[in-house]
Amino acid sequence: MEVNKLKNNNLSKNIVLKKVEQDKHVPDDFYSTTNYKTLVYHNHKWIEVKKQRMDALIVIDENGASCKKLRDIKKGDMIVCGDSGVKIVNDNEIKVENSFNFMNSSISSERKNNILIKDLASELFYNNKKLTIVAGPVVVHTGGDYYLSELIRQNYVSSLLAGNALAVHDIEKNLFGTSLGVCAKSGKVVNNGYRNHMRAINQVMKYGSIKETVKAKALHSGIMYECVKNHTPFVLAGSLRDDGPLPDTITDMIEAQEAYNKYLQSSDIVLVLGSMLHGIASGNMLPASIKMMCVDINSAVVTKLCDRGSSQTTGIVTDVGLFLNLLVYEIENLKNNLGTRLAT
């Protein structure tokens, strides 16, 4: 086991605690966390830090040690300063062989992607891993929405995290047969199709939410439809460029981060599909113990995710629609060959 990854030579000493004198402001020598499992030496014993994530502070209180964002720090909090008595453990480096051994942070468009997809299908089918999907609108544009809908319908997805655009174009496609005004069947631009995404937003506005649109039977298929029908929680995080946005979209950045974090922390596997912005944001919230997989046609996207500290990420450089197609295919193969899925 590798401990003290940051080469701290003060492991035998207690942590240094300092009291915060002002909300959202801490002493200059504050300890900044990584996404690796961290322990602190306090009152002559090692304590594991809870809510592990990168770029946070460690707060000590009557409940133990936990990570806290700078914006959440309150006057009177006791925070860890310096690196005395801090120990970091990278559990990923001590796992030699396991059923999820393809999660090794390598990135290549030349790797045997079918093997990675088979391994992921096996994890979902046999082990009932909690899968959080972080998806961009490219899922819809590439035709992957059909397969993602199928995964949700079969209860392989525990939560969906996305931006306003994914939901807008998914609803557009299922109401009007277009994605960004392009016919889903012919691939040709439809006359006045550029209006369709706004028409989709307008339709949801009529009912007040995506759920109410489904309940009114005004939406009959698609990713968002399946989320509602199968009680799969979803979070839509807004951005500066959003049209609408949809009434379900969270426009407060801090509120959106907290909503994302709620589902990310309870995941076993996080699958990022064609979204650099939401993928990197999600990676920053995760402890290294939660496996992450990033699928994108652009190798720079998956490289950037790993470069920003999410070392537990495996990158697959391929078309998102093709990836989802193959994932559903492999799950169906397991189902046909070995019977029903293990009970949740």
Q: Looking at the domain assignment, is residue 1 inside a domain? A: no
Q: Distance between the two ends of the chain, CA-based, in angstroms?
A: 32
Amino acid at 207: Y
Q: Is residue 32 part of a domain?
A: yes
Higher pLDDT, residue 56 or 113 = 56
Q: How many CA atoms lie within 13 A of 99 on its CB side?
A: 11
Question: For 293, phi and psi rounded to 5 degrees?
Answer: -130, 130
The reply to whether 139 and 224 lie within a common domain is: yes
> Is 80 exceeded by the pLDDT of residue 101?
no
**So what's the pLDDT on residue 105?**
46
Cβ neighbours of 314 (radius 10 Å): 22
The yes-or-no verdict on residue 111 having pLDDT over 70 is no
The whole-model pTM stands at 0.88
In a domain, 105, yes or no: no
The b/e string for 85-101 (b: 16+ C-beta within 10 A; e otherwise) is bbbbbbebeeeeeeebe
In a domain, 258, yes or no: yes
pLDDT: is 217 or 128 the higher one?
A: 217
Q: What are the backbone angles phi and psi of residue 42, rounded to the nearest 5°?
A: -140, 130
Query: Is the model more confident about 302 or about 79?
Result: 79
Tens of pLDDT, residue by residue over 57-93, are 999 999 999 999 999 999 999 999 999 999 999 876 5
17: domain CATH number? 2.40.420.10
In tens, the pLDDT along 134-190 reads 999 999 999 999 999 999 999 999 999 999 999 999 999 999 999 999 999 999 999
CB atoms under 10 Å from CB of 338, counted, come to 10
184 occurs within a structural domain: yes
160 and 21 in a common domain: no
How many Å is the Cα radius of gyration of the chain? 22
Place of tokens 């925070």: 79
Sequence-ordered strand ranges (E) for the chain: 16-19, 37-42, 45-50, 57-61, 64-68, 78-81, 86-89, 107-108, 131-135, 157-163, 178-179, 182-183, 234-237, 269-273, 291-296, 313-317
Q: What are phi and psi of 250, to 5 degrees?
A: -85, 115
| 118 and 79 in a common domain | no
Domain that holds residue 335: 113-343
Tell me if 307 is assigned to some domain.
yes
pLDDT of 237-295, one tens digit each?
999 999 999 999 999 999 999 999 999 999 999 999 999 999 999 999 999 999 999 99
Claim to verify: residue 141 and residue 59 sit in the same structural domain: no
The whole-number pLDDT of residue 5 equals: 47
Per-residue tokens: 245? 């946005």
CATH assignment of the domain containing 200 = 3.40.50.10690
If asked whether residues 82 and 149 sit together in one domain, one would say no
- Number of structural domains in the chain: 2
Are residues 22 and 123 both part of a single domain? no
Task: Work out the pLDDT band at 312, boundaries 50, 70, 90.
Answer: confident
- pLDDT per position as a tens digit, 186-203: 999 999 999 999 999 999
Residues 74 and 144 in one domain: no
